Amino acid sequence: MSIVALSELLGASVRDASGAVRGRVREIAVAPQDHPTRIAYLIVRTADGERMLPHDAVKSAGASVRATTDAARWDRFSPTDGVLLLKRDLLDQQIIDIHGRKVVRVNDVELESTPVNSHLLLNVVSVDVGARGAIRRLSKGLVPSFTLRALLEKIPPRVIPWQFVDLLETDPARRVKLKIAYRGLAQLHPADIADIVEDLPPAEREAVFETIDEEVAAETLEELDPDVKVAIVESLDKDRAADIVEEMDPDAAADLLGDLPEDQSAQILKEMEPEERQEVTQLLEFGEHTAAGRMTTEFISVAETAVVDDAIEVLKRFEGSREAVATIYLTGPGHKLVGAVPLVRIAVASPAVQLSELSEPYVACAPDTPQDEVAALFDKYNLITLAVVDEHGRISGIITADDVISMLRHRD
């Protein structure tokens, strides 16, 4: 078992079974449909056009390649979408380093060669993103290969194992054929995904958002810079955009749709499920910089006569954000807001206690309260959530502290 670099193989002379040099390696192909890492064939430029040297006919690979078959038996190469071409698709291109959570450029690709029976098994094991790969390629052909090898030994490697690499491919059909699904990426924290996405060019951003799970996409979208967010949603198919927006917090969704050009937000709203659409439309009607524009309509309210157990039942069924459950609001006759119970008090109380006994003085504001006053209320009363009540004293939504923090950070 040994490691051979893609840049060493490219341009290497190829000898067939007769021992005669038949051509040079031009490309190396992996067919992800058949095997995720195994080299499917080498593309050899011969006097008689480009030929495919199948992986099971490779006897040795290094500064020169030996084949176990005659050149006459190698099939002619015709370009196809379904294979990953290591030089074209990887070398010098950007990839996502899942482990390091960033976008990096590939300097070289490392292959592992294992002798099996009479041939060699070549597998992609890692990509080199450090100085070692760069120096190897820059000095190739200028420095004798043994000197080079000795020199490269001294450079600490910076490689990313293949399983932590997500390729960027903007063509959706090809993405399917190459089985690129951004599974690794989707497992990261949405805030990390957002950082990565912000480093990508627009087409690649779109590719990521077309592919990853809607829920992850929605959470990531909420973490993005407003400009980037708008650009991404505009570039997406309206159907897909609606699926993602449905998964977002209604207040974040309303903010986003409010930033989009009107025709675009209308199209997205049209594609959304009626229930989500109604919530978002309501929020959209308020000014963006008021309490109502910042609030979410997904919160927990129960009757003041309910007991702790009831509240816990409601909590279990609640689908809104985690921030919103910090306070449970109590309503009296006519759905008027009468009290607020912090989650901690429920957690430590016994199941049969009536909620009104646990209630604390609450802070509320009117829907048209300017956002600066909202922030001042949070500051003054050390709030985690703030209720927004209408002119009849009914609670119409809540603002959570995380909304206030991002509001303060993105104030123009």
Partner 1 sequence: MAPLKSWRVRIALVLAVVGPGFITANVDNDAGGIATYSVAGAQFGYTLLWTMIPITIALVIIQEMSSRMGAVTGKGLSDLIREEFGLRATFLLMLALFVTNFFNIIGEFAGVASSFELFGVSKYIVVPLAAFVVWGIVVHGTYSTVEKVFLSASAFYVAYIVSGVLARPDWRAAALSTVTRPESAGFRNYGYLSMIIGLAGTTIAPWMQFYLQASIVEKGVTARQYKTSRLDVIIGCLFAAVVAWFIVVACAATLHTVGKYTIETGADAAQALRPLAGDYAYLLFAGGLFNASLFAASILPISTAYAVCEGLGLESGLDKRFEEAPAFYWLYTLLIVFGAGFILIPRFPLFRVMVLSQVANGILLPFVLIFVLLLVNDKELMGSYVNSKWYNVVSWITVGVMIALTIAMVIAQVRG
Nearer of residues 20 and 203 to partner 1, judged by Cβ? 203
Nearer of residues 104 and 338 to partner 1, judged by Cβ? 104
Instruction: Candidates 40, 74, 90, 107: give the one binding partner 1 (CB under 8 A).
Output: 107
273 in contact with partner 1 (CB under 8 A): no
> How far, in Å, CA of 295 to CA of 291, rounded?
6
Shortest distance, position 303 Cβ to partner 1, whole Å: 48
Q: Which residues, numbered 161-200, are part of the site for partner 1 (CB under 8 A)?
A: 200
Nearer of residues 158 and 336 to partner 1, judged by Cβ? 158
> How far, in Å, CA of 54 to CA of 42, rounded?
7
138 in contact with partner 1 (CB under 8 A): yes
> Given strand 364-365, what is the order of strands in its sheet?
364-365, 385-389, 395-400
> How far, in Å, CA of 77 to CA of 57, rounded?
16
Shortest distance, position 388 Cβ to partner 1, whole Å: 30
201 in contact with partner 1 (CB under 8 A): yes
121 in contact with partner 1 (CB under 8 A): no
202 in contact with partner 1 (CB under 8 A): yes
Q: Are 264 and 339 in contact (CB under 8 A)?
A: no
Shortest distance, position 229 Cβ to partner 1, whole Å: 11
Instruction: Candidates 121, 134, 148, 315: give the one binding partner 1 (CB under 8 A).
Output: 134
Using only C-alpha atoms, the chain has a radius of gyration, in whole angstroms, of 30
Q: Which residues, numbered 87-106, are part of the site for partner 1 (CB under 8 A)?
A: 91-93, 102, 104-106
Shortest distance, position 243 Cβ to partner 1, whole Å: 22
Nearer of residues 109 and 308 to partner 1, judged by Cβ? 109
CA-wise closest residue to 362 among 328, 397, 318, 324: 328
Nearer of residues 99 and 105 to partner 1, judged by Cβ? 105
Shortest distance, position 285 Cβ to partner 1, whole Å: 20
Which contacts qualify for 399-406: CB closer than 8 Å, 24 or more apart?
399/291, 399/294, 399/295, 399/296, 399/374, 400/296, 400/321, 400/323, 400/324, 400/326, 401/323, 402/323, 403/251, 403/294, 403/295, 403/296, 403/323, 404/294, 404/374, 404/375, 404/378
Nearer of residues 115 and 144 to partner 1, judged by Cβ? 144
Question: Which tokens go with 358?
Answer: 């646990």
Spell out, one character per residue from 215 to 234, where the chain touches partner 1: x when CB under 8 A holds, - when not: ------------xx--x--x
11 in contact with partner 1 (CB under 8 A): no
Angle value at C-alpha 154, between 150 and 159, nearest 5 degrees: 110
> How far, in Å, CA of 239 to CA of 102, rounded?
29
Q: Are 341 and 357 in contact (CB under 8 A)?
A: no
155 in contact with partner 1 (CB under 8 A): no
Shortest distance, position 137 Cβ to partner 1, whole Å: 5
203 in contact with partner 1 (CB under 8 A): yes
60 in contact with partner 1 (CB under 8 A): no
> How far, in Å, CA of 231 to CA of 205, rounded?
10
324 dihedral zone (left: phi>0; alpha: psi -120 to 50; beta): alpha
298 in contact with partner 1 (CB under 8 A): no
Q: Which positions lie near partner 1, rule CB under 8 A?
A: 91-93, 102, 104-107, 129, 134, 137-138, 200-204, 227-228, 231, 234-235
